[in-house]
Structure 1
Amino acid sequence: MTITTILSESCRRGRGCCAALIELKEPGIIYKNAMGHNLVCVIFTAGHAQRLSKEIENDQTGKYAHLKGVPKALLPSPQGKRTLDHWWDAINRRQLFSDVFLVTNADKYKYFERWATASDFPVGNIINDGSTTPANSIGALADLELALRTKNLWDYDILIIAGDMVFQDSKFDIAQVVDYFSHKPDGDLAIYYEMEENESTTSRGLVEVCPESNRILKFLEKPSPEETASRNASVVFYTFRSSTIQMLLKYLHEFPSTEQRTFGAFMSWLINVQNVMVYGMKLPTGFQLIGQVGLKDYESWLSYLTSQAEKESKDPIYKRAYARVGLMGNPSDGFNGKTISLSIANFWAEVTIVESPKLRLIPHPLNDPTEFGSMADLHGISTKEGYLGGLRLLQATCKKFYSFCAKRGIALTRRNFTLSYDTNIPRQVGLAGSSAIVTATLKCLIAFFNLSDHDIPRPLQPQFILDVEKDELLINAGLQDRVVQVYEGLVYMDFSKTVMEQQGHGNYSHLGALLPPMFLAYRLNPSDSGQIHSNVSMRWQAGDQEVIAGMQKFATLTDKATEAIQSQDWSALAQLMNENFDLRRQLYNDAVLGEENLRMVTLGRSMGAAVKFPGSGGAVLGMLNDQTKMEEVRHRYQEDGCVVVEVLPKWPDDL
């Protein structure tokens, strides 16, 4: 990392502030806006927590006698740290700001002065608003104006934090907030989180956020549940452009009363009335001790932190993604077609993630070998297995995940991990082994960072997985495998052009949990499935009418297969499976499909089975209406050098 130290504007003006603005030259991180404005952080602790102070003072147990008079922001946690310590750790860990100020009141000023000297916070950057009680408080916006005026900050971008509330995850990384803000030069930024069930909408400001742009469309200050379906709660954690800061004086002039000089009211005015562009960024976890709270709230926070510490035992998280067989319509998933696919429990990829001091990706001893018995051993393994193991899939998924979250305005906690994988999916036989590793890795990352389908919607997860493979690793593929590995079970998929363009993903639905017995036969020395689509894809993009008509025919076969499955007409399904393969053979020709792959199909058909490719080659999926012949079919395939297994469907847990 190259670190460039730039003399800050504050130093040039002679303010006794942080000595320099440190600009970290990392990919995608910029700490100055397009106008060259530096970013200043202002922490607000000037509120009078009257309710909590009184309840501590009136507590008869004596348990909290040592906390009488202590400001809410300086109340201790089980780890010995105070609320403000958590914020200062997050802010001061990396020098993202040209200066940091703290606004407090006259009643508690000495407490914060003592905290500053013990915490290496510049005492000269503490601003006293002169208030001593709620009755003579001036309001949060007037406190902001005081800081802007006395420290001459009107030309700066300002990050604003309520220093007496605490984020639930102590490993929150504020650098991601600054990074996201720097990539949204046309607007301000507001942090929000998804409320828990026990939180009332009437206690928070709620935001309605556009899922595509992340722009906040509406700000509602403590609404009733009937006013909005949103559960996205906004807290005093904003980043304002200097241009927005200029609007503060106008607001203060229009709304002179202290009750109207709150950040919630100001945000409502900016977004709903002035139509200012404000983006939302979501934190995976929520906040505690927001606003006027009591002793029970404080005790609840202590209990939460204690239980969180117990949970952080660094237990590994395990996630699996299963192999799949394409039952109908493949390979039209890459050509705006329709398919039916089935996840199978015979084979899977499993990824393990566990918290660790450094981020580590562990090579698989078989798939990512780094030690060999000899040159001959290296030559033999490299010839058979190639050079592309699973480690690249883990790394590419992590890279894409971080980029996705940054783009979607999702702040990840500052946690490192160790990631490893194992798989028993046969390689290069068209059973979606690569996408299974990516899918399982994505599941691990979602769980590890406490995200959900609300953050990365389920219909979009297959596209994310495909983007990892196509964009990062140049793997030729379609959506089908990723859809069935995310949804699991027997899944119908419609990738029609109009559907994809209108909603950004296909239509996906489960077809129940009833299928006739099927078998899978695959080669031990398979072909490379990555080359199968190439010629047809070029013809399709060039508008070749034969290919376009063929892909439409695959979609028709898929719809007919859906009817056959729903009516349990297995004879009709068998005929459609054969038609699917015949159409594929017509479009791709024998040279592309390969002699050994064709022989597997011919062998099964000679025994009366319906046979097709489950993927791109190297294996066949068969259905035999006369199960008395299954033993003979198995023997014939085995004698031809194939492995034969009964297909074991992997149904989703909630089906």
Structure 2
Amino acid sequence: MKAVILAAGYGTRLRRDLLSDTSGRFEALIGSPKPLLPVGHCPLISHWIQALQSIACVDEVFVITNDLYYKNFEEWAQQFPAVKVLNDGTRCNEERLGAVACLQMAIRKFKIEDDILIIGGDTLFKEDFSLSGFMDQFFDLQTKCDESNLVLSYECKDEETSKYGILEVDKDMRVCCMKEKPSPAETNSRRACPCCYLFSKTTIPLLETFLEEKKNAPIETRDAPGNFLSWLILRKPVYIHQISGRFDVGNLASYIECDAYFKDKLKGDRDYLK
């Protein structure tokens, strides 16, 4: 199995917050990509690498970033010889390729034909999440149907449904549909879906199909990986792995919350995520 960490975003909201902050506490973070922000005892993305190195079935890890932050990631990756960093060639948010196109670029560059774990580079989960447990459920599904895919899901609050893609599932926890930012009245589900997916190798060719279908569409309709997931649900079996919650580092407030959680609650626990 391969792992791809999506880290080509520009963190525009966070940068705006950092530049407008007058406390002086976060000046050192200006110019850093979100996955390299210090969270607890190490950069956010390093929590994932440490966990992935403990999973025997993951034999290669690829990080895709942009040209603006490529040198930052290359310098960081020197401590992880097994990690390969890919540059998408863009220099600003207006040039961005979108997460799905970046994923497809990594698949082509590294000739990935295996099952694949896809991770959003600005996302972490609470301590109940187990990467090995996530993998075990995926492999169990694969023994029954090798086209099965598995995604994470957590219960969001009523007022948060309009912020996320919301999954509706059947009695077997198979996803029936994904509603994009619905109002609470538009769905009975509260199952939000963060960017952490296990895709079967049979799903990989569909990324190119999706991008070809959407090539003339606005980037907003093909950018986020959830757009591909919504499209995939109609074509391949997708199931959920339930977790209690996540940290999505999108702005300064969410970064402060995430960092405080790791410092105060996990206290540098190096078994986190495993």
Task: Report what 1:50 is aligned to.
Answer: 12
Q: How does 1:72-221 map to 2 (within 5 A)?
A: 72-77=34-39, 79-118=40-79, 120-122=80-82, 125-153=84-112, 155-169=113-127, 172-185=129-142, 186=145, 187-196=148-157, 200-211=160-171, 213-221=172-180
Q: What is the distance in 1 between the residues matched to 2:87 and 2:236?
A: 30
Letter in 2 for 1:82: P
Letter in 2 for 1:129: D
Q: Are the aligned partners of 1:96 and 1:175 in contact in 2 as well (CA < 8 Å)?
A: no
- Return the offset for 1:413: 7.0
Q: What is the distance in 2 between the residues matched to 1:177 and 1:121?
A: 25
- Return the offset for 1:95: 2.3
Q: What is the distance in 2 between the residues matched to 1:231 and 1:172?
A: 19
- Return the offset for 1:309: 4.2
Letter in 1 for 2:139: S
Q: Tell me which of the two structures has the higher relative contact order, counting C-alpha pairs closer than 8 angstroms and 6 or more residues apart.
A: 2
Q: Are the aligned partners of 2:51 and 2:273 in contact in 1 as well (CA < 8 Å)?
A: no
Task: Report what 2:214 is aligned to.
Answer: 255
Letter in 1 for 2:170: C
- Return the offset for 1:75: 1.0
> What secondary structure sits across from 2:203 in the alignment?
helix
Q: What is the distance in 2 between the residues matched to 1:130 and 1:104?
A: 9
Q: What is the distance in 2 between the residues matched to 1:98 and 1:75?
A: 25
Q: Are the aligned partners of 1:90 and 1:173 in contact in 2 as well (CA < 8 Å)?
A: no
Shift in alpha-carbon separation, 1:121–1:204, aligned structure 2, 3 A: farther
Task: Report what 1:222 is aligned to.
Answer: 181
Q: How does 1:7-18 map to 2 (within 5 A)?
A: none
Q: Are the aligned partners of 2:47 and 2:273 in contact in 1 as well (CA < 8 Å)?
A: no
Task: Report what 2:256 is aligned to.
Answer: 299
Shift in alpha-carbon separation, 1:413–1:161, aligned structure 2, 3 A: closer
- Return the offset for 1:147: 0.6
Q: Are the aligned partners of 2:117 and 2:197 in contact in 1 as well (CA < 8 Å)?
A: yes
> What secondary structure sits across from 2:197 in the alignment?
strand
Equivalent position to 2:239, from 276, 279, 282: 279
Q: How does 1:287-436 map to 2 (within 5 A)?
A: 287-289=246-248, 293-309=250-266
- Return the offset for 1:109: 0.9
- Return the offset for 1:113: 0.9
- Return the offset for 1:302: 2.8
- Return the offset for 1:280: 0.9
- Return the offset for 1:248: 1.3
Q: Are the aligned partners of 2:168 and 2:191 in contact in 1 as well (CA < 8 Å)?
A: yes
After superposition, give the CA deviation of every residue in 1:384-407 in whole Å (9 maximum; x if it has no partner): xxxxxxxxxxxxxxxxxxxxxxxx
| TM-score in terms of structure 1 length | 0.39
Equivalent position to 2:21, from 43, 59, 63: 59
Shift in alpha-carbon separation, 1:121–1:229, aligned structure 2, 3 A: farther
Q: How does 1:20-39 map to 2 (within 5 A)?
A: 39=1
Q: What is the distance in 1 between the residues matched to 2:47 and 2:140?
A: 26
After superposition, give the CA deviation of every residue in 1:144-185 in whole Å (9 maximum; x if it has no partner): 1101111111x211110102111122x642111111111112
Q: Are the aligned partners of 2:149 and 2:239 in contact in 1 as well (CA < 8 Å)?
A: yes
After superposition, give the CA deviation of every residue in 1:587-612 in whole Å (9 maximum; x if it has no partner): xxxxxxxxxxxxxxxxxxxxxxxxxx
Q: What is the distance in 2 between the residues matched to 1:208 and 1:248?
A: 22
Letter in 2 for 1:251: F
Q: Are the aligned partners of 2:5 and 2:119 in contact in 1 as well (CA < 8 Å)?
A: yes
> What secondary structure sits across from 1:266 in the alignment?
helix
Q: Are the aligned partners of 1:190 and 1:281 in contact in 2 as well (CA < 8 Å)?
A: yes
Letter in 2 for 1:139: G
Shift in alpha-carbon separation, 1:226–1:250, aligned structure 2, 3 A: same
- Return the offset for 1:127: 0.8
After superposition, give the CA deviation of every residue in 1:177-219 in whole Å (9 maximum; x if it has no partner): 111111112211111112256x6112111111223x2211111
Letter in 2 for 1:182: F
Q: What is the distance in 1 between the residues matched to 2:115 and 2:262?
A: 33
Q: What is the distance in 2 between the residues matched to 1:179 and 1:189?
A: 11
After superposition, give the CA deviation of every residue in 1:273-293 in whole Å (9 maximum; x if it has no partner): x3421111112x211125xx2
Q: Are the aligned partners of 1:40 and 1:159 in contact in 2 as well (CA < 8 Å)?
A: yes
Task: Report what 1:343 is aligned to.
Answer: none
- Return the offset for 1:121: 3.9
Q: How does 1:422-571 map to 2 (within 5 A)?
A: none
Q: Are the aligned partners of 1:90 and 1:172 in contact in 2 as well (CA < 8 Å)?
A: no
Q: Are the aligned partners of 2:41 and 2:263 in contact in 1 as well (CA < 8 Å)?
A: no
Q: How does 1:540-619 map to 2 (within 5 A)?
A: none
Cα RMSD, aligned residues only: 2.2
What residue ranges of structure 2 are gaps of 5+ in the alignment?
Answer: none
Task: Report what 2:231 is aligned to.
Answer: 269
Q: What is the distance in 1 between the residues matched to 2:201 and 2:266?
A: 40
What residue ranges of structure 1 are gaps of 5+ in the alignment?
Answer: 1-38, 313-356, 358-411, 415-655
Shift in alpha-carbon separation, 1:309–1:413, aligned structure 2, 3 A: closer
Letter in 1 for 2:189: S
Letter in 2 for 1:167: F
Q: What is the distance in 1 between the residues matched to 2:45 and 2:273?
A: 18
Which is greater in Rg? Answer: 1
- Return the offset for 1:250: 1.3
> What secondary structure sits across from 2:173 in the alignment?
coil
Matched residue pairs, number?
A: 265
Q: What is the distance in 2 between the residues matched to 1:300 and 1:173?
A: 21
> What secondary structure sits across from 1:103 in the alignment?
strand
Task: Report what 1:12 is aligned to.
Answer: none
Q: Are the aligned partners of 2:60 and 2:82 in contact in 1 as well (CA < 8 Å)?
A: no
> What secondary structure sits across from 2:188 in the alignment?
coil
Q: Percent identity?
A: 34
